Amino acid sequence: MPPLSPPSRAAILREKQPHVITGLEAILHSGRLPNALLFTGNCNTGKKEAAHLFAMSLNCRAPGNKDASAEKKEPLAPCMHCVSCKKRVAGMHPDVIVITPEKEKIKIAQIRDIYTIISSPPHESAQRMILVVDAHTMNPEAGNALLKILEEPPPGTFFILTARDLSGLLPTIISRCRHLRFQATPMAVMIRELQKTTDAAPEYTAIAAATADGNMEMTRQFLNLDAACTTDWIRRRQWLIAAISQLIQNGVRGITQAGPALFLAERLTRDTGELEMPLTLINTWLRDIMVMAHDPEQVVNKDFFTQLQKISDSLPGTRAAQWIKALNRAEKRIKSNATPRLVLESFFLELSSVPTGYTI
């Protein structure tokens, strides 16, 4: 966690996730801790930070914070100066256990390690926190093993699970958690933060934020602000919009060459780890084509307004909506371990209206 002052932490989260903060403060006020909390929402919406802040507030040793006194005006505001808070900020607290995916999966061995940890009481805190990050990546064996712990949790231990959504979790796990949904970061808040801390162009910042739908990490990547990302996404976006537009225009003109569609699928799947970004761009572009016919002011890619208008005017009214549904099906197939290149070849051929019996 970054070394912000408690007012800064609480204020930032309260602005981004007011209903979540209200719910967590209600728990602290009540003094009744559920066996497990489940935080769902996009990446970078504050799920992990809220989990650590909640645990810190629960165990803060400063006068007035003990037992989360209901008299405290803002209980979700640890002192940051006591021994417990300092250890948590440094990432050295023995009663904070964080489980994260290994090679994109949480495996049963990781959950079994929890059994050993909870067999003894917390070392220093009244409540030990076990944070399971990206719980939707648990394989079935890991999920069932965690369920057994949640059914009879030991005293002095509580769980917080984070996930994108509920779809990858066992219904029985969901039923044993108090669910708090993290909303996408309000666009105005995200844009204001980026403009304060970066020199990104304001007009493109708004486009990137809208394309990422409140995902701060993805927005920063679209703006080339993520030092760990080597792809130039500003240029990649321009190239991808041109390539998708060309496929659509080929279809409109009756040009049935399959080569461009197959090449685009091959190019995008050279690194399957980066597929989320281009698929997000494609989805937004198709959405803009659909919206252009009804409410042009609501398009995201305003810097390509003229091109969007030209494409939209050349298509039947329902075509863009059909393509968006086809893209959603393609994304589901890829998540179900279908071969990404074959899935995208099929989608791009549909986008360019190439008949089944095409020849290269």
Q: Which amino acid is at 326?
A: A
Q: Which amino acid is at 217?
A: E
Pairing type for strands 157-163 and 178-181 reads: unpaired
* pLDDT band, residue 320 (cuts 50/70/90): very high
Amino acid 79: pLDDT: 82
Pairing type for strands 96-99 and 36-40 reads: unpaired
Burial class (CB in 10 A: 0-12, 13-18, 19+), 271: exposed
What's the whole-number average pLDDT of the chain?
Answer: 87
pLDDT 10s digits, 330-342: 999 998 889 999 9
Q: Say how far apart CA 144 and CA 236 lie, in whole Å.
A: 42
Domains 6-181 and 231-352 share a fold: no
Note if the pTM is more than 0.75: no
pLDDT 10s digits, 165-220: 998 899 999 999 999 999 877 788 888 888 888 888 888 999 999 999 878 888 99
Instruction: List the chain domain ranges.
Output: 6-181, 231-352
Question: Are the beta carbons of 299 and 289 closer than 8 angstroms?
Answer: no
pLDDT 10s digits, 139-162: 999 999 999 999 988 899 999 999
Q: Say how far apart CA 139 and CA 103 lie, in whole Å.
A: 12
Q: What is the DSSP letter of 355?
A: -
Mean pLDDT of 96-100: 94
DSSP string over 139-203: -HHHHHHHHHHHHSPPTTEEEEEEES-STTS-HHHHHTSEEEEPPPPPHHHHHHHHHHH----HH
Q: Say how far apart CA 81 and CA 336 lie, in whole Å.
A: 47
Count Cα atoms within 13 angstroms, Cβ side, for 180: 26
Provide the CATH number for the domain formed by 231-352 in this structure: 1.20.272.10
Q: Which two three-digit tokens encode residue 71?
A: 């008299």
**Signed CA dihedral, 115, 135, 92, 129: sign only:** negative
DSSP string over 274-340: GTHHHHHHHHHHHHHHHHHTT-GGG-S-GGGHHHHHHHHHTS-TTHHHHHHHHHHHHHHHHHTT--H
Mean pLDDT of 258-282: 91
Q: Which CATH superfamily is domain 6-181 in?
A: P-loop containing nucleotide triphosphate hydrolases (3.40.50.300)
Sorted by sequence, the CB contacts under 8 Å of residue 303 that are 6+ apart come out as 203, 204, 207
